[in-house]
């Protein structure tokens, strides 16, 4: 019987590589990066050296050419050490690199992906706006064709990797906008680089509950000039681009929840074994047994669902909307609940940074919001199931 979680020797080797890197290099810096609200750019570039930044990008453009299961493995293993850092990785590798790999032209791929895959450039994607989050088709960023350029006006909010530091923009972004005269359901996507006239960093968001090791920023477009060749696909194509990429985004976000849950279970299991109360180990008490056993069962259920969904995905075509929403709906709350139980098992020690679970709990909450809210997943899934008589 094949291993659902490591379907090939290549997947198994990848897991060993990423787990070793996460334990050796990512975990030791996680608490400090969270406390300082600092994106560790040097460590991020190490992911490029390991071939992880373009994990699903073709090798001819500098990537590893791997599949969705490989992407899930990388996100689960990294998130077990530092979910905030992993979110920056996801925004770069999935929302920019994979998006451009699937939807861009060969000329665009050749120009932008090698530097993205190496880590020379830090990239991201701009969709959400101050007044348009879940209702993405309500975005207001507008593009007007003027000769050999498009001129963009608007603002994007909550952009991961929008700022590399307090004052420095990220290097390149895929930006969703509506071309003047296009209907609501037709969006277009542009590659916008740092240094383009009219493109600037607004505010860097400080004081986030969690995911503090990744930067979140507002990006502003004021008569921003974008060369016509930086339009990805044709005008109005980007709604389909978005649907294609949302599926792998949600599955890798689910994988992050798996990493959070696994680490939380390991921490509470070890603590319950070592800590005694009333002259016996904590794990001998029924209440503690419930927290540990229920957490493990939920983690394994979410893990099986996530890896099954990833194993059936095609990166170049939508078609897994029901289950990409489903895995994120289930695992995002599962990860938060497991981290919460870990805090309860550790008591006062769970409430401080020493055992990491308070940071994991704070980070986990974002996964119920970002990349699609719980409510959006529920709506999408019910819509998909509306005409389904047999589920399997």
Q: What is the tens place of the pLDDT at every residue in 275-333?
A: 999 999 999 999 999 999 999 999 999 999 999 999 999 888 777 899 999 999 999 99
Kindly state whether residues 41 and 103 are assigned to the same domain.
yes
Question: 137, 379 in Cβ contact below 8 A?
Answer: no
Please confirm, yes or no, whether 37 is among the known catalytic residues: no
Can you tell me the distance from the alpha carbon of 105 to that of 232, in angstroms, rounded to the nearest whole number? 7
CATH of the domain at 129: 2.40.110.10
Domain boundary among 193, 212, 232: 232
Domain boundary among 200, 232, 264: 232
Catalytic residue among 77, 218, 249, 368: 249
Residue 225: predicted pLDDT:
97
Task: Give the position of tokens 């209702």.
Answer: 135
Kindly state whether residues 38 and 108 are assigned to the same domain.
yes
Residue 388: predicted pLDDT:
77
Domain that holds residue 114: 9-122
Kindly state whether residues 213 and 245 are assigned to the same domain.
no
Number of domains the chain contains: 3
Question: 15, 190 in Cβ contact below 8 A?
Answer: no
Tokens (6 digits) for 159: 């952009």
Can you tell me the distance from the alpha carbon of 48 to that of 56, in angstroms, rounded to the nearest whole number? 13
Instruction: Indicate yes or no: pTM above 0.95.
Output: yes
Residue 148: predicted pLDDT:
96
Domain boundary among 100, 122, 144: 122
**Beta pairing, strands 172-179 & 142-146:** parallel
Residue 124: predicted pLDDT:
98
In this prediction, the residues of the chain whose per-residue pLDDT falls under 50 are 1
Phi first, then psi: what are they for 316, rounded to 5°? -95, 5
Can you tell me the distance from the alpha carbon of 298 to that of 283, in angstroms, rounded to the nearest whole number? 18
Residue 276: predicted pLDDT:
92
Kindly state whether residues 219 and 203 are assigned to the same domain.
yes
Kindly state whether residues 244 and 361 are assigned to the same domain.
yes
3-state SS, residue 74? helix
- 366 in any annotated domain: yes
């Amino acid at each position: 019987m094949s291993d659902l979680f490591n379907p090939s020797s290549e997947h198994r080797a990848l897991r060993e590589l990423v787990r070793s890197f996460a334990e050796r290099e990512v975990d030791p810096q996680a608490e400090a990066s969270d406390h300082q609200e600092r994106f560790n750019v040097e460590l991020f570039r190490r992911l490029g050296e390991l071939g992880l930044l373009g994990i699903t990008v073709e090798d001819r453009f500098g990537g590893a050419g791997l599949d969705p299961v490989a992407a899930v493995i990388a996100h689960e293993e990294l998130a077990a050490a530092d979910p905030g850092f992993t979110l920056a990785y996801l925004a770069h590798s999935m929302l920019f690199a994979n998006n451009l790999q699937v939807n861009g032209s060969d000329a665009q791929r050749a120009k932008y992906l090698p530097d993205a895959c190496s880590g020379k450039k830090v990239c991201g994607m701009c969709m959400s706006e101050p007044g348009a989050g879940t209702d993405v088709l309500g975005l207001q960023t507008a593009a007007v064709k003027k000769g050999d350029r498009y001129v963009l006006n608007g603002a994007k909010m909550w952009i991961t990797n929008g700022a590399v530091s307090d004052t420095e923009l990220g290097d390149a972004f895929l930006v969703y906008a509506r071309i003047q005269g296009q209907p609501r359901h037709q969006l277009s996507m542009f590659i916008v680089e740092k240094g383009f006239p009219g493109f600037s960093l607004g505010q860097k968001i400080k004081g986030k509950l969690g995911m503090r090791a990744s930067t979140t920023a507002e990006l502003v477009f004021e008569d921003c000039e974008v060369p016509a060749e930086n339009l990805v696909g044709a005008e109005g194509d980007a709604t389909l681009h978005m649907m294609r990429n949302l599926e792998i985004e949600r599955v890798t976000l689910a994988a992050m929840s798996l990493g959070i849950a696994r680490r939380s279970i390991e921490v509470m299991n070890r603590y319950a074994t070592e800590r005694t109360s009333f002259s016996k180990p904590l794990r001998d008490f029924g209440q503690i047994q419930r927290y540990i056993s229920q957490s493990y069962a939920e983690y394994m259920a979410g893990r099986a669902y996530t890896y099954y969904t990833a194993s059936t995905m095609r990166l170049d075509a939508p078609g897994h909307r029901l289950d990409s929403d489903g895995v994120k709906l289930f695992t995002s709350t599962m990860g938060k609940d497991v981290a919460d139980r870990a805090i309860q098992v550790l008591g006062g020690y769970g409430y401080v940074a020493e055992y990491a679970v308070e940071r994991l709990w704070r980070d986990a909450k974002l996964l119920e919001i970002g990349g699609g809210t719980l409510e959006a997943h529920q709506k999408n899934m019910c819509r998909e199931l509306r005409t389904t008589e047999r589920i399997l």
